[in-house]
């Protein structure tokens, strides 16, 4: 999971993690999968308001 520093991250009603867009401050969502316990993020965050996409070194590391 993510460290919630300064309220950057939150969990929405579906148990999915969202993060605050660094460009416009809107909540950016990401693709999630159901891992049997809850929703697990499986993609980068993207902001629908301004089009910002989080850059990640490797999405595959989330599955390890």
- CA dist 26 and 17 (Å) reads 14
Measured from the CB atom, is 24 or 33 closer to Zn ion? 24
Q: Which of 9, 27, 44, 52 binds Zn ion (CB under 5 A)?
A: 52
Q: Assign residue 61 a region: left if phi > 0, alpha if psi is -120 to 50, beta otherwise? A: alpha
Site string for Zn ion, 7-46 (x = CB under 5 A): --------------x-xx-x--------------------
Q: Which of 8, 35, 50, 63 binds Zn ion (CB under 5 A)?
A: 50
Secondary structure (3-state) at 4: coil
């Amino acid at each position: 999971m993510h460290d919630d520093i300064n309220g950057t991250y939150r969990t929405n009603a579906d148990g999915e993690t969202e993060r605050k867009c660094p460009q416009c401050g809107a909540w950016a969502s990401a693709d999630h999968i159901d891992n049997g316990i809850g929703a697990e993020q499986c993609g980068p965050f993207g902001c629908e308001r301004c089009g910002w996409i989080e850059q990640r070194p490797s999405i595959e590391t989330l599955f390890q």
